[in-house]
């Protein structure tokens, strides 16, 4: 008898010559009800929540991993997000997310729209307790009630491997918008490796302070900056690749390959502990046709400003795309403060559009160089994405 069915049968047997009636339960020919599967994701995670890779999930509101909560996402899990600003995943201070994708079975979070577009849903945000410039405490851009920053550089917010974040960057206004991946005061006890962020509005990834290290990051067609740094980030980004594909058009006026601020919005030039970060093995590939259309031009390849100290090793920019006439391959200037003169940068310029090379203002940058010989990031690091390089 299958679980959940009731039979009602009467039958007789003869035992010692006497009829005996037995009863059992049945509901006739009614079908067995299907089990209910909870596939909608939203609300708070306060304990340990482990998803099931066999279930197709719908992210239909904010999914908040609270302090003490753990969200486990196994290899091969697919999550589709309902269109809107409020569809996002946020890990609060003291919470953890473990995305356990593999090269063969990555985890994918994407839009639920039939015709998906950049900005359909929010993205992934992690708030940690690692330090920010000036020892400040920050407020999450999309909801100021959620804070980040602290004193623990080794803070651990979990482990993320082989993750695709697609069609991210929903906004509620020009000043309040999601990135593909937002790392707010995240500590270096957090593991982040093998991330693919295609077709998103605003930045591909933004580091708001903290000390987290990221390895193997591919960003394709980010509407704003590919890799954005601010508020005192002091970690390492190793093996990163940014692409604008042929025909792509940005809605932002100042999109760059790397945009780095030492302090938040350049408003705190006296802060100690300003951004002092490392990027190893980076390729920026502008596949656009050389164009006078500003929407098809990058503002700068590298924009290092407002006290930021960059250590960029083995960088390469290539392609046919244009850099704006007011921009440069390396721009270390800004009205709110130039980049730190102790920065060390080596980038090879293979752009066919021949943009201006340097903007240094009145400062001297002895170790900021455009030079031949750099190979950038190996494309085969991203074979698992199946992207056609």
Please spell the DSSP secondary structure of 181-226, one letter per residue. Answer: EEEES--TTSEEEEEEEES-SS-SEEEESS--EEEEEEEES-SS-S
CB burial of residue 246 (10 Å; 0-12, 13-18, 19+): exposed
- For residue 95, give the nearest of 140, 49, 52 by alpha carbon: 49
Please determine, for residue 250, whether its predicted confidence score (pLDDT) is greater than 90: yes
| Residue 183: how many other CB atoms lie within 10 Å | 27
pLDDT value at position 16?
A: 36
pLDDT, one tens digit per residue, over 102-152 is 999 999 999 999 999 999 999 999 999 999 999 999 999 999 999 999 999
Average of per-residue pLDDT across 356-362: 96
CA 104/CA 74 separation, integer angstroms: 12
Q: Distance between terminal CA atoms of the chain?
A: 57
Q: How far is CA 67 from CA 57, 92, 113, in A?
A: 23, 6, 32
Evaluate whether 346 touches 314 at the Cβ level (below 8 Å). Answer: yes
* Tokens read off for 174: 């020009």
Please determine, for residue 376, whether its predicted confidence score (pLDDT) is greater than 80: yes
Residue found under tokens 């590939």? 285
Report the residue count for the chain.
389
pLDDT, one tens digit per residue, over 273-294 is 999 999 999 999 999 987 788 8
Nearest 5°: CA angle at 290, between 285 and 294? 95
What DSSP state is assigned to residue 264?
G
Please determine, for residue 366, whether its predicted confidence score (pLDDT) is greater than 90: yes
pLDDT value at position 291?
A: 78
pLDDT value at position 115?
A: 97
Instruction: Assign 342 a pLDDT band (cuts: 50, 70, 90).
Output: very high
Sign of CA dihedral 95, 236, 349, 336: positive
Evaluate whether 161 touches 185 at the Cβ level (below 8 Å). Answer: no
Q: What is the Cα gyration radius of the chain?
A: 26
CA 231/CA 289 separation, integer angstroms: 35
pLDDT, one tens digit per residue, over 5-23 is 333 333 333 333 334 333 3
């Amino acid at each position: 008898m299958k679980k959940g069915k009731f039979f009602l049968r009467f039958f007789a047997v003869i035992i010692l010559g006497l009829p005996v009636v037995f009863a059992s339960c049945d509901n006739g020919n009614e079908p067995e009800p299907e089990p209910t599967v909870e596939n909608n994701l939203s609300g708070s995670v306060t304990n340990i929540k482990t998803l099931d890779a066999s279930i197709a999930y719908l992210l239909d509101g904010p999914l908040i991993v609270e302090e003490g909560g753990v969200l486990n996402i196994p290899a091969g899990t697919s999550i589709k997000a309902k269109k809107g600003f409020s569809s996002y995943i946020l890990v609060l201070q003291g919470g953890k997310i473990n995305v356990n994708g593999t090269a063969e079975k990555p985890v994918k979070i994407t839009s639920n729209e039939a015709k998906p577009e950049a900005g359909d849903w929010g993205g992934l945000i992690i708030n940690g307790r690692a330090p920010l410039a000036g020892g400040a405490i920050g407020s999450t851009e999309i909801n100021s009630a959620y804070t980040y920053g602290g004193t623990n550089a080794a803070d651990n917010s979990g482990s993320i491997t082989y993750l695709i974040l697609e069609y991210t960057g929903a906004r509620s206004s020009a000043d309040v918008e999601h990135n593909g991946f937002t790392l707010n005061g995240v500590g270096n006890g957090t593991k982040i490796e093998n991330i693919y962020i295609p077709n998103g509005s605003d930045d591909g990834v933004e580091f708001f302070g903290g000390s987290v290290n990221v390895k193997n990051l591919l960003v394709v067609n980010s509407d704003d900056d590919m890799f954005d740094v601010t508020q005192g980030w002091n970690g390492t980004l190793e093996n990163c690749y940014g692409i604008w594909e042929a025909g792509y058009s940005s809605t932002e006026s100042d999109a760059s390959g790397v945009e780095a601020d030492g302090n938040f919005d350049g408003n705190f030039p006296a802060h100690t502990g300003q951004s002092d970060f490392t990027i190893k093995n980076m390729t920026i590939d502008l596949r656009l046709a050389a164009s006078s259309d500003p929407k098809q031009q990058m503002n700068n390849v590298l924009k290092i400003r407002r006290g930021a100290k960059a250590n960029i090793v083995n960088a390469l920019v290539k392609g046919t795309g244009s850099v704006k006439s007011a921009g440069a391959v390396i721009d270390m200037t800004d009205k709110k403060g130039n980049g730190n003169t102790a920065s060390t940068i080596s980038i090879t310029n293979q752009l066919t559009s021949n943009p201006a090379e340097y903007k240094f203002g009145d400062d001297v940058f002895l170790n900021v160089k455009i030079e031949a010989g750099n190979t950038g990031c190996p494309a085969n690091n991203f074979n698992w994405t199946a992207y056609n390089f």
